[in-house]
A and B are shown apart, each in its own frame.
Chain A
């Protein structure tokens, strides 16, 4: 009698079962459950390292070598550091030196190490209506864009690129964010999206070289200004301070940051992208000092 009832129930379940079949639900939800806590490392990083594909090349090697599992959360440098400040990430790979210094001063991170650099470039429409080509410094180029009122697309997302851009405006003695105008627009999105928007709207923007190289084939936005020491884009790796946040996976973070500055990794960084773009996307710097870069 019980069985009969069950049979009725199961018949009703017939179409549920069908759905399960469609979706290939052979695996129970439990199969997704988190692995042992200490195995997971949360890496908060900037979009450029993910969008360029560098992390896709490095992380599998790291995971294979160490047995850790890296959860890469690609956000802007600002948000990455905000996660670190709350102890929601274990290790950061970021490129916003000014903000990083504040982060370190507040005891949020330890063991900040130089990993690599590339540089920022200013790109814009091929016709260069603001005439920034030939400018000696990036603030000079920005000034020309502002003075001619040509469209400039800002990330506007507190990323490393955004904070670099703000630094340049400051050096030019301007603050377009405080005096909103038609020619200055913020996308609030990642570098790739912002470049796409700039390409669509024929605007200028500041981009890291790596992302630009990866996207340039579809963009039609040539480099109009490069080589200014101010445009250096420097990446550091920072362990989130375990003294402040006991739940942080300190050994994992340390293992990852060590990995990033190890000679083997540095040599991969050195050649990464050459086969695809003809030139490297990043320059390894583990044995250098910030002051020596770009010289």
Chain B
């Protein structure tokens, strides 16, 4: 009990004093997971939309692959990304193992199927004839694409939430491909694991509190947008 209290007090102290290391780790986490979410958003929304709107052989297989991918275990992604990025691995020439770029890559791989899956469902939930109506309004394919995405923007927002929430709190892949390097690839989750290992429970609690706060803030913000958009 004393430990928890102490941890919370230390956490508050770290937050109030704007500890540069903690701030740095927080900013890096946001940058990495934000970038990964953005990449996944573009990949996921386009994949989801294309799969939802087109018919091609093997489509069912693609859909079930996406759905399977939604539950991709982060450590498995971490392991395979590590193996591929090894110096002597197939993508070793990129020289990005143990860099933030590698974490972005792994997190994007984790988040893309999540965002694809939700986008796919969102697009399929639009009225069946809406696509024809938009074409009948004289839209080009690109205009149709954007109008449909605009129509599905609320569920797509949910996709962003799910994707971002999934990867900012993910630790297995980040530690494997990022290496938890101080001031370089150390993010909130990997730092929490390390500080727990070091017995610095106070710092670990502080980092967890930030992680929680962050997740809460972002979801709160997105939910606010959603509520404002459709005041029902």
Report A's interface with B, CB cutoff 8 A.
Answer: 5, 8-9, 11-12, 15-16, 18-20, 22-25, 27, 29, 32-34, 37, 40, 42, 47, 50-51, 53, 56, 59, 69, 71-74, 86-88, 189-193, 195-196, 214-215, 217-219, 245, 247
Contacts and interface: CB of A to CB of B under 8 A. Distances in A.
A219 B201 CA distance: 11
Contact of B98 (A23, A24, A71, A190): A71
Interface in B192-214: 194, 196-199, 201
A29 B104 contact: yes
Contact of A192 (B37, B153, B198): B198
Given A24-B31, A73-B180, 15 more contacts: A11-B150, A12-B153, A16-B38, A16-B41, A18-B221, A22-B221, A23-B35, A25-B34, A25-B38, A29-B35, A29-B39, A32-B101, A50-B194, A74-B180, A245-B88
A24 B201 contact: no
Interface string B75-118: 00000000000111000101111111100100000000000000
A76 B189 CA distance: 20
Nearest 5 A/B pairs, CB to CB: A23-B34, A215-B199, A192-B197, A32-B100, A71-B98
Interface stretch (B53-61, B119-127, B129-137, B141-149): B141-149
A5 B139 CA distance: 10
A72 to B, nearest CB: 6
B201 to A, nearest CB: 7
A192 B96 contact: no
A15 B104 CA distance: 21
A15 B225 contact: yes
Contacts of A8: 143, 146-147
B33 interface: yes
Nearest to A30: B101
B31 A27 contact: yes
Given A50-B194, A218-B199, A56 B182 contact: yes
A196 B201 CA distance: 11
Nearest to B6: A218
Nearest to A33: B101
Given A74-B180, A214-B199, A215-B199, A25 B149 contact: no
A25 B181 contact: no
Contact of A24 (B34, B157, B164, B182): B34
Given A29-B35, A29-B104, A86-B88, A15 B153 contact: yes
Interface residues of B, number: 49
A69 B184 CA distance: 10
A294 B30 CA distance: 48
Contact of B95 (A34, A47, A217): A34
B36 to A, nearest CB: 9
A86 B191 CA distance: 27
B13 interface: no
A5 B87 contact: no
Given A34-B99, A71-B181, A218-B201, A88 B87 contact: yes
A12 B146 contact: yes
Most buried by B among A51, A71, A219: A71
B197 A190 contact: yes
A19 B34 CA distance: 8
Most buried by A among B97, B98, B182, B198: B198
A15 B157 contact: yes
A245 B87 CA distance: 10
26 contacts: A5-B143, A8-B143, A12-B150, A15-B160, A18-B225, A19-B41, A19-B164, A20-B34, A23-B31, A24-B27, A24-B30, A24-B31, A25-B34, A25-B35, A25-B38, A29-B104, A32-B99, A34-B101, A42-B98, A51-B197, A51-B198, A73-B98, A74-B180, A88-B87, A88-B97, A247-B92
B218 interface: yes
B179 interface: yes
Interface in B1-38: 3, 27, 30-31, 33-35, 37-38
Contacts of B142: 5
A87 B87 contact: yes
A193 B101 contact: no
B109 to A, nearest CB: 14
A23 B30 contact: yes
